Structure 1
Amino acid sequence: MTTLADRFLPDPDFSETHQITVRVPPEVVWAAHRAGGVTLGRPARALIAARSLIARARNGRAQSDLPTGPGAFVALAEEAPREVVEGLVGQWWRFGASANRAEVDGPERFLDFAEPGYGKAVFCLRFLPSGDGTRIVTETRVTCTDAAARRAMGRYWLLIRPFSGLIRIMMLRDLAARARRLATTGGAETR
């Protein structure tokens, strides 16, 4: 199956996929995502805070390269209610020593970016019909612009991958719960 993410990073150096199935139609799951986006629960925020502590210890300053801060993920593509893809360019292995490339602010600039020493990441959510519900799939892909960046990202990936995966699983569970609430309230989701 070809995905929208394939347009941006068809052959990633690093990737990770997680999924969950919820007994709610894709359109309702899409609506829940649109209403609340991707939310991070307390455990996920704690993991991000731990990464920020490492950044402060290594670089003496606050984290500046997380997807929730300046230079956050930018919209790359969307096909409602099936898939949404966002992208980000940075040097995350430097633990905040450099900011994300905020000028990469859309699909064309993302595709064209090739400056050595960086990683290009996409985060996608897919909402696939599955029996009487929806299989929600999250996929993270990273491609590096040169061999040195690939080596640095490889070391970083070994360190953060389990925690990144845990955050993705928590995000999926939260989205599934919000979709179930939305389905039972007939569209008036309450938080």
Structure 2
Amino acid sequence: MDWILDRLLPTYDFRTRYTRRIAAPPDAVWDALHAVTAAEIPITRLLMGIRTAGRSRMSGRLADLVSMPELGRDEGREAVKGQVAKYWRFRATPGPVETNDPAAFTAFAEPGWAKGAMSFQLTPIADGTLLAAETRVQATDPAGRRAFAPYWFLIQAGGAGLIRLELLRAVARRAEAA
């Protein structure tokens, strides 16, 4: 497949990919993905509250809550958000690049940073749609990679996979009920 994510971040240091088969057509899955609310993902709300030490309360549509800028969209097929940041800091420091510019995001190489992108990909299958949630991170240098690695370990151990699986489950519930 020709995914936007593959063009934006073809090489990466860290990656997760979770998938779910959904018994609904791609257009219903796409609509559900963009309509899921924070109320439908209680584990995610709890973990994000812990991550932000209670400074942030999730409410509303999830599509509006993901704080990363949109880097690309192929309507009904893929949506990608991403940013350059120092994620490992207590409050992630945004990078010195206009990250809603896909070309600037891809070209960014200043040492000491990480480029992170999250993609939702829909693939039609015989009995519905395969929805994938893929996250990729590429450090801009070895120091950035060393700084990011413990953070990645902590978020993976702390429930990042649970967050993706909960989101995929919520999308499936919405799409299959439509």
TM-score range, shorter chain: 0.7 to 0.9
CA contact (8 A) 2:23 2:127 kept: yes
Percent identity for Structure 1 against Structure 2: 36
CA contact (8 A) 2:114 2:148 kept: yes
Give the deviation of 1:82 after TM superposition: 1.4
Is 1:79 paired with 2:74?
yes
* Equivalent AA in structure 2 for residue 25 of structure 1: P
Give the deviation of 1:178 after TM superposition: 1.2
CA contact (8 A) 1:104 1:113 kept: no
Give the deviation of 1:144 after TM superposition: 0.6
Matches of residues 59-70 of structure 1 in structure 2 within 5 Å? 68=65
- SS at the partner of 2:111? coil
Tell me the residue number matched to 1:189: none
Matches of residues 39-50 of structure 1 in structure 2 within 5 Å? 39=38, 41-50=41-50
* Consecutive unaligned residues in structure 1, runs of 5 or more: 57-61, 183-191
Tell me the residue number matched to 2:30: 30
CA contact (8 A) 2:36 2:170 kept: no
TM-score (normalizing by structure 1): 0.79
Tell me the residue number matched to 1:91: 86
Partner Cα distance (2:99, 2:72) in 1 = 14
Give the deviation of 1:80 after TM superposition: 2.2
* Consecutive unaligned residues in structure 2, runs of 5 or more: 57-63
Tell me the residue number matched to 1:187: none
* Equivalent AA in structure 2 for residue 5 of structure 1: L
Q: Which moved more, 1:171-180 or 1:105-114?
A: 105-114
Q: How many residues align?
A: 168
CA RMSD of aligned residues (A): 2.2
Partner Cα distance (1:9, 1:135) in 2 = 22
Aligned in 2, Cα 1:173/1:26: closer, same or farther, shift over 3 Å? Answer: same
Give the deviation of 1:109 after TM superposition: 2.2
* Equivalent AA in structure 1 for residue 27 of structure 2: E
Q: Which of 171, 174, 180 is residue 170 of structure 2 equivalent to?
A: 174
Aligned in 2, Cα 1:37/1:74: closer, same or farther, shift over 3 Å? Answer: farther
Give the deviation of 1:156 after TM superposition: 1.0
Q: Which of 149, 158, 166 is residue 144 of structure 2 equivalent to?
A: 149
TM-score (normalizing by structure 2): 0.85
CA contact (8 A) 2:98 2:105 kept: no
Q: Which of 101, 109, 114 is residue 119 of structure 1 equivalent to?
A: 114
User: Alpha-carbon deviations, 1:152-176, whole Å to 9, x = none?
Assistant: 1111111111411110111111111
- SS at the partner of 1:175? helix
